[in-house]
Amino acid sequence: MSGAVGGRSGDGFLRCSDGAVRWGVFGAAGVVFVLRDVDNEQPFVMLQKRSAWAHEGGTWSCAGGAIDEGESPYEAALREASEEVGEIPATHSVLGEYVFSPATDWQYTTLVLEVPHLFGGSINFETDAVAWVPVDEVDHLPLHAGFAAAWPHLRAIVHAP
């Protein structure tokens, strides 16, 4: 069960080596954007509320999607985010990444990028809302299961010196 269903080479479901069916023929990637306030107190992260029609619709996660053939996880994460939440600030810095590899033939890479200012909005059918959430409040939201599993690792990256 694989192959492109949409207009991009990575779109499609793959039956992975562990038997699970996952989106992204070449894997998938997403990005958590981080904004620190002027006092560098509690950072905020951008979260995206998934549309009702999407898998686990109504839950919060980061922007992301399928990696296209020949595309790096970084390139895919930024492309997907710009398609879902808008133009990404040109000035940003990579704080780290977390790679979820449940199978030998599929992985999901989540980048953590710090940005200099607020941005983003619901600009396509995949996103019902976008919010900048204080890091300590993320656990109180209804999270997409995959994002919830990755969140402790991502939060550690956000809080790393």
Summarize pLDDT for 94-152 with one digit per residue, the tens: 999 999 999 999 999 999 999 999 998 877 777 788 999 999 999 999 999 899 999 99
Tell me the two tokens of residue 87: 């133009």
Q: Which residue has the tokens 């204080």?
A: 134
**pLDDT value for 51:** 80
Domain count, the chain: 1
Distances (CA, A) of 93 to 60, 62, 114, 137: 23, 17, 5, 23
Alpha helices in 86-161 (DSSP H): 145-159
Asked if the model's pLDDT at residue 30 lies above 50, the reply is yes
**51 assigned to some structural domain:** yes
**48 assigned to some structural domain:** yes
**pLDDT value for 40:** 63
Which residues are CB-neighbours of 126 under 8 A, at least 6 positions away? 48, 50, 51, 54, 65, 84
**84 assigned to some structural domain:** yes
**80 assigned to some structural domain:** yes
Asked if the model's pLDDT at residue 1 lies above 60, the reply is no
Round the average pLDDT of the chain to a whole number and report it. 89
**79 assigned to some structural domain:** yes
**pLDDT value for 3:** 44
Domain containing 80 equals 28-159
Helices (H) and strands (E) in the chain, counts: 2, 9
Tell me the two tokens of residue 19: 């038997």
Q: Please report, for the domain that includes residue 126, its CATH number.
A: 3.90.79.10
**pLDDT value for 52:** 77
The answer to whether 33 and 113 have CB atoms below 8 angstroms apart is: yes
Summarize pLDDT for 53-92 with one digit per residue, the tens: 777 778 899 999 999 999 999 999 999 999 989 999 999 9
**52 assigned to some structural domain:** yes
**115 assigned to some structural domain:** yes
Report field, pTM of the whole predicted structure over 0.85:
yes
**36 assigned to some structural domain:** yes
Tell me the two tokens of residue 148: 């919830």
